[in-house]
Amino acid sequence: MNSDPTIDVSDLRIGLYVYLDLRWFEHPFALSHFKIKNEEQIRTIRGLGLKRVRYSPDLSDREAPDAVAPAEQPAREELSPVIAQALAAKKAMVERIQQQRAAAARIENAFIVTASTIREVEKNILTKPAETVQAANQLVSQISESILSAPELAIHVMGDMTGGEELYFHSLNVTMLSLMLARDLGVPQEAVTALGMGAMFHDLGRAEIPSRILLKVEPLTQAEQHLYEQHCDYGVTLGKRLGFSPAVLAIIHQHHEMFDGSGYPQRLKGDGINLLARIVGLANYYDELCNPVNIANALMPHEALSLMFAKLRGKFDPRLLQLLIRRLGVYPPGTVVQLSNGAMAMVATVNTSQPMKPILVVYDESVPRDEAILIDLSQDSDLNIAKAIKPALVPRHIYNYLSPRKRVSYYFDASQGQDGTRK
């Protein structure tokens, strides 16, 4: 770790990639390692009381400008007001991180409550149909009202604090993503309720499909695929018994239809597919790429969106696909990225008004994992995302630190302000 060459602080120059061997809160920079961009950063480093700093020849500019002349007086005394101001800015940043952590804890708690309700709904829908449908309607109404009335949405990826993989629910993801798209489309409230119910129960007919088929990780045989496709028809039959509206039944029946006519069970095409079913079908397809039965085949959110846009776009309503990409961002929550300064990070939260400026969990070996740095790119103009990184290419210790979940679950923060109160 400390085998890098060192340089006297008087010889610092723009273009050097330096490492500050200080605790994170003892310096004013966002990260403890970075490339020096200007003379102000050099003056700030000299004011930290360090005599020498480590640097990386490989990450430094090959032709850096001449060194800035050293300060005539002891730098720490001369520049103490500057350092004090910078550390005050760091303190404000720490306070923002604490607020973000509090918000994340609140959102994850809401996710747990909602996921538990979903579990009860799925467990009781056939044995206690009347009260379960009522509970589902209430849940959909609460979620849709929260999403539709909020001025802005922040999309969170759930972490391991949510209790483990047993709290993952495909239907919850599809419901959340569908309602997000409905918000963008301006779908009227009466249709939103049907959309939410259809999204929640889109796989209702799977209850009639043998587990050996549902849980099979190898490709289905032609006969097995034919049987599986009948879950759409089975779902409509069960939905009628439960008293679902025609709009909800249409979603259940058509959520596997594709815009190019390659779907099932009726090979419907284009506008011949119910709009609400197109919304749910898109959300369903995306989530199944991220969370397949065989988790070894799972795509990172960034990979899933890229595949859908680059190779499969004909299968989806182009307007809806563009909305999904715009709202999740080019780098959706859960994506591992490399920043412009070389640091590794994971996208934790996307602000849907600025999808290219998410909140990131940043890897820094000098910071304990449970205190990991959170950077809001909308408030840090010096940093940006350089590229997404495939999990297999991320060093194991960094991957474990960032801890992207094997399965990706989303939830929304539909609150205003930073105090966590609903408006």
pLDDT value at residue 65: 47
pLDDT at 391: 74
Specify the pLDDT at position 75.
43
pLDDT tens across 142-196, in order? 888 888 877 777 777 765 544 444 444 788 889 999 999 999 999 998 899 999 9
- Across 15-26, average pLDDT: 83
How many Å apart are CA 346 and CA 331, to the nearest integer? 9
What span, in angstroms and rounded, lies between the C-alpha atoms of 339 and 249? 45
User: Model confidence at 71, in pLDDT bands (50, 70, 90)?
Assistant: very low
DSSP class per residue in 366-399:
TS-GGG-EEEEGGG-TT--EEEE--GGGS-HHHH
Determine how many CB atoms are found less than 10 A away from the CB of residue 229.
Answer: 16
**Predicted pLDDT of residue 83:** 65
pLDDT of 106-140, one tens digit each?
A: 777 777 778 788 888 888 888 999 999 999 999 99
Smallest Cα–Cα separation from 380: which of 162, 44, 92, 175? Answer: 92
Output the pLDDT for position 421: 33
Segment 343-350 mean pLDDT = 88
pLDDT tens, 246-274?
999 999 999 999 999 999 999 999 999 99
Encode pLDDT of 200-214 as tens digits: 999 999 999 999 999
Binned at pLDDT 50, 70 and 90, residue 9 comes out as very high
Band (pLDDT 50/70/90 cuts) for residue 293 is: confident
- How is residue 221 written in tokens? 């045989």
Q: Write down the pTM of the prediction.
A: 0.75
Q: Is the pLDDT of residue 420 over 60?
A: no
376 strand-pairing partners: 359
Q: Give the domains, in start order, of the chain with CATH numbers.
A: 90-413 (1.10.3210.10)
